[in-house]
Amino acid sequence: MEESRIENRIIKITQPAKKSVAQWLVAYTTPRAEKRIYERLCEEGIHGYLPLYTTLRQWKDRRKKVELPLFNSYMFVKVTEQERHEVLQVPGIIRFLFYLGKPAIIRQKEIDAIERFLNKSQGYRIQVQPGQDVEIAGGPLEGVYGKVLRVGKSKLVLQIQQMGLTVVAEIDRSQVRQKL
């Protein structure tokens, strides 16, 4: 009887190195530092996108137009896998947003949609009618809901019910948004 001999051969297949493609990722930042962090990223030569909108803010002594981030504590960076680690070294970047154990990738068409939204909504003012429910979007009453009593040229008179009390407040139109 002839004995057959089986040889174990390990064949090493080498694949060409994958070219790392830059993708949009979501970086989580320290609160209220998005603009400074964006500037740092630009200085490092990292491509980022920080969507901003303009709003009118009221202080005791003045009113001023300010630019605020559309997404608080988030910004977008377009990086390769290797550059992702460099971004984490930038002061103020805490981590990346993950989905199913991998960095959340944002498609270019979603970034474009955000830009289109900001361009279309610039200078947009909501239309409100007496009796409509609205949410106060800025100032000391931010997050409070109220009912529109009267609509003026630049101000609204709202009825606010909190803790069993009814308060009537005059609020700038730019400080409210429609209740969802």
- The CATH number covering residue 90 comes to 3.30.70.940
For the chain, the maximum distance between any two Cα atoms, rounded to a whole number of angstroms, is 105
Tokens of 80: 């390769």
87 & 140 share domain: no
Contact 41, 86 (CB under 8 A): no
User: What is the rounded distance in angstroms from the CA atom of residue 149 to the CA atom of residue 168?
Assistant: 9
Q: How far apart are CA 151 and CA 148, in angstroms?
A: 7
Instruction: Locate the DSSP E strands across the chain.
Output: 23-29, 47-49, 52-58, 63-69, 74-79, 93-96, 98-99, 102-103, 105-106, 133-136, 145-151, 155-162, 165-172, 176-178
**What confidence score (pLDDT) does residue 40 get?**
94
Q: What range does the domain containing 62 cover?
A: 23-121
pTM greater than the 0.75 cutoff: no
Do 144 and 55 lie in one domain? The reply is no
CA torsion through residues 104, 46, 33, 59, sign: negative
Check whether residue 72 and residue 148 sit in a common domain. no
Same domain, 33 and 109: yes
What is the SS3 assignment for 162? strand
At residue 103, the pLDDT reads 92
Per-residue pLDDT of the chain (180 residues; tens, 9 = 90+): 555 555 555 555 555 555 679 999 999 999 999 999 999 999 999 999 999 888 777 788 888 888 888 888 999 999 999 899 999 999 999 999 998 999 999 999 898 888 887 777 665 556 777 888 887 776 666 777 788 887 877 677 777 776 555 566 666 766 777 776
Q: Do residues 29 and 40 touch, judged by C-beta distance below 8 A?
A: no
pLDDT at position 165, please?
54
149 with 74, same domain: the answer is no
Position 29 scores a pLDDT of 95
Is residue 5 situated within a structural domain? Answer: no
Give residue 9's pLDDT.
54
